[in-house]
Amino acid sequence: MPNAEPTRPADESRKRNNTTPTAKAWFVVFCLAALLYLPTCARVIQWQDPGHFVLRVVSDDLRGELGLALSHPLHHWLGKAAVWALPVEPAWAVAWVSALCGAVGVANVFGGVRAITGRTAGAALAAASLAVAHTYWRMAAIPEVYTLTVALLSAELWCLALFWQRRKARWLVAACLFNGLGLANHNLALLTAPVLLACGVLGWRCCRPVVGVFVLGCVAWAVGSLPYTALVGYDMVQSGAYGPTFHSALFGNGYADEVIGVPSDLQPLITSAAFTLLSFPNLTLVMAVVGLFAAKKVGVSKGLYRALVAAGAIHLLFAIRYDVVDVHTFFLPTYLVAALLAGVGFDHALQRRPRLAVWAVALIVLTPVLYAVTPTLAKRSNALGSLERYRPYRDDYVYLFWPWAVTERSADVMSRKAVELAGPEGVIMIGPSMARFAVKYRLHEEGIDGVGVYRADDFGELTPPIDRTKPIVLVPQHTHKPPPAPPFGVWRAKGDLYVLDPGG
């Protein structure tokens, strides 16, 4: 990480507040965040995309089944490295990647704010605010790509802060490298590429020779993005289908309408707003607004201010109109920019009201306490209502409202029960599509290759038909409703799962 000491004139109080080298302070913050995330991250397989990421790692599936845009090669290779290096279950090892990347993102916020303001207190409060933010903590506790996204974007923005502060072109080139690495992880990185270009245009006086810096920036970006661009290029050459491959690289398989469309209803936005408030039940959002208006007073340059506002606005607008169920996770880049601005706001406020730090720290410390009681309070008020999914062995309130995932074992229990009931040559019918990854992972880990895994909706339409003499297990879509009648026999409940009785 950059050793980001401010170079503008500083008063004596600022010097006294900023005596520890940034690299050492960064490492301390990283270790503290890692001590929060590593003990609380998931140790077993999870539902949905986290299960898919782990399954792809253990089965050497670089591309996945959802298209190139959802292959996330950098995250995939980091997951494979973690599985190779750590003597723990693969699902736990891949979760370590999220935890450590989450710690890097938190430390980068500290470093970025400290570089902008020249002081430590506001930077520490900003980093702590992001560290305990519900959605960020949740993504740091499960095998997901978003904390890696934030880690790279925060490094990119930190480099832009140094570029505008020190007026050295090498920081713009470094920002291009981090943006390329961001693309190698997730297409969200493309959203801030125009910001980098604009910084180069507006700061052209710092970029001498202009052509040379432009070339270096492009080379740095290309090198960083190689894990993804090389994969896309290889597939283009191998298939000869340039148009479909490029479409897959931008949108995946069948996600174009969600990426470029508008929301079909307001429910995802309402959910995102609720999770935002849950993530910051402290002074962070207020201080972000303060930072937005006080940036010039603490010495934030016009170029950096525009870059931060543009990056935050672009990501916010994208997330608001992105039509997917879990859209609240796409607000994390906006949370990052909010945390950086909150650091500026804290710094400005603390110069006038030093005692504000006591309240800020107290609210941050109490934030996890709120999370601990949220499932109980939400359940009493039936907060989820029709959104509750009733998956096997899962309490949706705990699953959604506890950011720590170390206690979340429902997908692991479901997959173990299903595999046990199916035996070595049975059949498992999957109701909820996002449950199949956990089941396939369990079969892989136990070395069982004789079990068939199919969609429950396809039961009765498979060719050849399912052998009635084999054990047939159903993972139901909804545990509080009876499953649809099978084409033959009857379902017999086995805990939250079902086994087919062909003679019933």
In this prediction, residues 358-370 reach a mean pLDDT of 97
* pLDDT at residue 19 in the model: 55
Q: Are residues 155 and 41 in the same domain?
A: yes
Residue 183 DSSP symbol: H
Structural domain boundaries, residue 334: 12-372
Establish if 441 belongs to a structural domain: yes
Pair (331, 446) in one structural domain: no
Q: Say how many domains are in the chain.
A: 2
Note the pLDDT of residue 460.
80
Domain-ending residue, one of 372, 402, 420 = 372
Residue 484 is predicted with a pLDDT of: 92
Same domain, 314 and 414: no
| Pair (230, 86) in one structural domain | yes
Residue 7 confidence (pLDDT): 43
198 versus 262: which is more confidently predicted?
A: 198
Give the pLDDT confidence score for residue 21 in this predicted structure. Answer: 81
Which of the listed residues 344, 372, 400 is the one where a domain comes to its end? Answer: 372
Per-range mean pLDDT, top range of 122-136, 251-265, 474-488: 122-136
Are residues 451 and 358 part of one domain?
Answer: no
Question: Is 389 within a domain?
Answer: no
Could you report the per-residue pLDDT of 48-72, keeping only the tens digit for each? 999 999 999 999 999 999 999 999 9
Q: How far apart are CA 107 and CA 362, in angstroms?
A: 20
Q: Are residues 222 and 100 in the same domain?
A: yes
Secondary structure (DSSP) of 17-42: HT-S-HHHHHHHHHHHHHHHHGGGS-
Q: Judge if 110 and 254 occupy the same domain.
A: yes
Give the residue, 325 or 436, on which the prediction is more confident.
Answer: 436
Answer yes or no: do 367 and 414 share one domain: no
pLDDT above 50: residue 9: no
* Residue 464 pLDDT level (bands cut at 50, 70, 90): confident
Using the CB atoms, write b or e for 357-382: b if 16+ within 10 Å: beebbebbeebbebbeebbeebbeee
Over residues 424-453, the mean pLDDT reads 96
115 domain residue, yes or no:
yes
Are 421 and 275 in a shared domain? no
Residues 365 and 414 in one domain: no
Q: What is the pLDDT of residue 403?
A: 97
Q: Reply yes or no on whether the pLDDT at 319 is more than 70.
A: yes
Query: For 72-86, 197-211, 292-306, 414-428, which range has the lowest pLDDT when averaged over its residues?
Result: 197-211
Residue 478 lies in a domain: yes
Residue 401 inside a domain? The answer is: no
382 located within any domain = no
Same domain, 345 and 430: no
Backbone angles phi, psi at 366, to 5 degrees: -80, -15
Please answer whether residues 80 and 74 qualify as being in contact, where contact means their C-beta atoms are separated by less than 8 angstroms.
no
pLDDT tens profile 445-458: 999 999 999 999 99
Write out pLDDT tens, residues 224-242: 999 999 999 999 999 999 9
| pLDDT digits 0-9 by tens, 151-192 | 999 999 999 999 998 889 999 999 999 999 999 999 999 999
Domain's final residue, options 372, 401, 418: 372
Please check whether residue 384 lies inside any domain of the structure.
no
pLDDT exceeds cutoff 50 at 2:
no
- Intra-chain end-to-end CA distance of the chain, in Å: 65
Q: Do 48 and 196 sit in the same domain of this protein?
A: yes
For the chain, give the mean pLDDT. 92
Task: Answer yes or no: is pLDDT of 345 > 70.
Answer: yes
Is residue 250 assigned to a domain?
yes
